[in-house]
Chains A and B, each alone.
Chain A
Amino acid sequence: MSVSVQSEDFDLTAEVRRLTAGRVDIGAIVTFTGTVRGEAKGQTITSMTLEHYPGMTESELARVEAEALARWPLQATRIIHRYGELRPGDNIVLVIAASAHRQAAFEAAAFLMDYLKSRAPFWKKETTAAGKGDWVDAREGDDRAVERWGKG
């Protein structure tokens, strides 16, 4: 049950190991990793800069995590979101949901990502090979993805 907002990279294997160390009550671990694409709208992307709202980011992520813990029987959760300048192929976000059985872990991981995308105050700016910087537009599909979970 923890949330990190950091500029440094993360190690999926190390995070899972830390979460499960010394425990035998976990039967299912679902992880999601979001990474930087090297292309957007037909343009080559050379870097992506993530801006965030320090203070609010941490509290929104903690709120999203608490909501998942209230909805599913989870043994452990972990959210890591990076900020700063990233390159194509770099990690952006890690979500881990661990439960006794797979359904709760699958659903909680999807829920955490959907909620995080609509609530956590992050903004992406993509720089193209031509040196042009563009703020990424929010996708309507992201709001719909949250609606499927209904009200908390």
Chain B
Amino acid sequence: MTINLLYFAWVREKIGKSTETVDLPSSVRTIADLVQWLVARGPEYADAFARPEVVRAAIDRAHVKTSAEIGAAREIAFFPPVTGG
């Protein structure tokens, strides 16, 4: 399955890009699976997800927990806890 990944703030800086398109194997079913899959891709991902509990995710522009199923998602974003306002 082809999916767009977006990264923001220090997650973006650590990975070194703001967006990429990836082909996910069918074994990647949840956000947590996706994090694991990304970490195995290289040290920059391992660095970004070194403390996975502080990285937040959104599926198709809605906040989700790491247990969320990716399903037919088209866009998944990873970012630090938000600090607006």
Contact = CB atoms under 8 A, between A and B. Distances in A.
Interface string B7-29: 01110000000000000000000
Given A93-B85, A117-B85, A123-B8, A135 B80 contact: yes
Interface residues of A, number: 27
A138 B9 CA distance: 12
B83 interface: yes
A53 B79 contact: yes
A45 interface: no
Contact of A122 (B6, B10, B61, B85): B85
A51 to B, nearest CB: 6
Contact of A123 (B6, B61, B82): B82
A50 B61 contact: no
Contacts of B9: 51, 123, 125, 135
DSSP class of A's interface residues: helix, strand, loop or mixed? Answer: mixed
A119 B63 CA distance: 8
A124 B8 contact: no
B31 to A, nearest CB: 15
A81 interface: yes
Interface of B: 6, 8-10, 58, 61-63, 77, 79-85
9 contacts: A50-B84, A53-B6, A53-B61, A56-B62, A56-B77, A122-B82, A123-B84, A136-B83, A138-B80
8 residue pairs, one from A and one from B, having the closest CB atoms: A122-B84, A138-B81, A123-B9, A117-B85, A56-B61, A136-B83, A120-B84, A124-B83
